[in-house]
Amino acid sequence: MKEFIKESHHLNQLKKLHEKLANSIKKRIERDIHFIKKGIQGEANVAYELAHSLQPMLCLYDIRLDYVGYQIQVDYIIITKTLSFY
């Protein structure tokens, strides 16, 4: 499995914006930063569990699909001999 990357371009951009904005908007940015950090931590927890699993599997991470103007992002797709998880 490829190594989980804890860096987030989106999070770094929000932190830079936070420094420059007025106090009225900072609360919203702080909330977004909080949620992004929680999401990154959750993905890191999943990555740890998958990396230490004894079950043979194929792990696809951070998949982005575009179709006719629509986009989806899937954190993990797990494929085993008998099951697939999304």
The pLDDT of residue 23 is 76
Confidence class for position 27, pLDDT limits 50, 70, 90? confident
pTM of the model: 0.66
Measured CA to CA, the distance from residue 49 to residue 54 in angstroms comes to 10
Q: What is the mean pLDDT of residues 53-77?
A: 90
Confidence of residue 49 (pLDDT cuts 50, 70, 90): very high
Given this model, what pLDDT does residue 68 score? 93
Other CB atoms within 10 Å distance of the CB of residue 31: 10
The residues, ordered by sequence, that sit 6+ positions from 8 with a Cβ below 8 Å of its Cβ are 36, 40
Q: How far does Cα 49 stand from its chain's mean position?
A: 15
